[in-house]
């Protein structure tokens, strides 16, 4: 049924239908703006280190009751992320200009 609806539908393309809609007014400019890729790198790095804090929070709360193996795992996790941060610094991903 869904495929038949797509195949049999009536399409009437027009320039008005292809324009962006801004509250019933004519658009002031193009709705598509250029997005600088350097902000994408910052967003990815922020997400990585934000997820790191989510994973490390249980270790910080239960540090006294955890065994040595769990603490070593936490340090290995932090070391891997520190290696990633050093890699990002060496590749100059954290420079604004």
Domain ranges of the chain: 2-90
**Residue that has been written with the tokens 């769990």 in this structure:** 70
Q: Which residue, 49, 45, 73, is CA-closest to 59?
A: 73
pLDDT of residue 97: 45
d(CA 37, CA 2): 38
Q: Name the CATH architecture for the domain at 2-90.
A: Up-down Bundle (1.20)
Single pTM value for the model: 0.54
- Rounded distance, CA 79 to CA 74, Å? 9
Q: What was the pLDDT predicted at 22?
A: 64
pLDDT at 91: 86
| Token pair for 73 | 């795992």
Q: Which residues of the chain have pLDDT under 50?
A: 97
């Amino acid at each position: 049924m869904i495929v038949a609806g797509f195949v049999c539908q009536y399409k009437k393309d027009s320039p008005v239908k292809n324009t962006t809609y801004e509250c019933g007014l004519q658009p002031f400019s193009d709705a598509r703006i250029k997005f600088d890729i350097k902000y994408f790198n910052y967003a990815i790095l922020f997400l990585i280190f934000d997820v790191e804090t989510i994973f490390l929070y249980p270790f910080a709360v239960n540090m006294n009751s955890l065994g040595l193996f769990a603490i070593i795992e936490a340090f290995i996790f932090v070391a891997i992320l520190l290696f990633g941060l050093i890699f990002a610094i060496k590749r100059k991903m954290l420079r604004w200009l």
